[in-house]
Amino acid sequence: MPATDPADLTARLIRCPSVTPHEGGALTLLQPILEMAGFTCTRIERGAVSNLFARWGEKSANRRFGFNGHTDVVPPGNPEDWRFDPFSGTIAEGRLWGRGACDMKSGVAAFVAAAVDFVTETPPEDGAVILTITGDEEGDSIDGTTAILDWMATEGESMTHCLVGEPTCPQVMGEMIKHGRRGSMTATITARGLQGHSAYPHRARNPLPALVALLDRLARHELDRGNGNFDPSTLALTTIDTGNTASNVIPAQARAVLNIRFNDGHTGESLTAWLQQETEAAAAQSGIALELSARVSGESFVTEPGPFTELVAQAVKAECGVTPELSTSGGTSDARFIKDHCPVVEFGLVGQSMHQTDEHVEISHIHTLKAVYTRVLQGYFGQNRPG
């Protein structure tokens, strides 16, 4: 049986217009490929999202290695701004072009190709290979990997370790493995006063000064200075809105949104409590009604260095010729959900073009990524296995 070509599979996936939350034919393309290799596949539908769970081997196997990734993509924007049609999967200049080429249809194609060839050529004894592929990573992430994990819990399915195929390398293929992520939360603060004429401010209660003063205090507060695993936590103001189109009217209401990326010195709960305390103090001092709402999209986590991280690092070094750095930098990924299920790390391509116009990937890097994933599988089910 010929080896599965991950670059060709990536191109075919790019031609599936799977903009969140639409499946776009991507999972429909992958399922028969996996079933022909002996994987048992289950489509998991929740809300408007389609997901795919695939397992080779018995769910009672002693070791159950998992890969996780997503086939949904962000919108391409104006197609006329692209060199090639964003859903054409065009090959030019040694690169594969299209929406999702980098983030992360190439990663999915690489681990599908690696898994298919591995179980076909060297099927592990008392082992299972599990693929969890979601269509909701770029969206609200409510009905994607979380839906798969919920279904797995109900069905008695589990992974012993998992590798997420997100792009992890800033500039050089192989330079970085993500072994953790900062937490993320978004807070909205609404200030309510009394509308009035700007020439008679004493007849109004302007909510803006109180809100701005609170935001300035929050933005200048040092959350922490980082630690051995994480950079300092950050708080960014992302918008302040009044909906006021008149220059001579004091608005009755103003709204601000901020985002916090936090390390393991905090939790979503502790930060929400801090924000609530600051908001209540500002309301008491100003006499303006201030209301906080907060949503935590993920807690921080670290997979401690050990046999599992070393296994992945050795595979990366062998195929890329680079000793990878263990990092917790960047945004969030679905690893934030998997970390409650089993130990998880992330390794994938160079991510410079993700979400951009003319998104692309080096074709040679796709093949290298498949080789890394193959080495991981060989090592995991071989003699030097992580505990």
Which residues have a catalytic role annotated? 72, 137
Residues across the chain: 387
Rounded Cα–Cα distance for residues 224 and 24 (Å): 43
| Residue whose token pair is 């980098």 | 102
Rounded Cα–Cα distance for residues 15 and 222 (Å): 46
What tokens does 160 get?
């012993």
Rounded Cα–Cα distance for residues 291 and 289 (Å): 7
Q: Which of 373, 377, 385, 308 is nearest to 124 (CA)?
A: 377
Kind plus residue range of the DSSP H or E element containing 130? strand 127-134
Largest Cα–Cα separation, the chain? 82
CB-based contacts of 234: which residues, under 8 Å, 6+ apart? 223, 260, 261
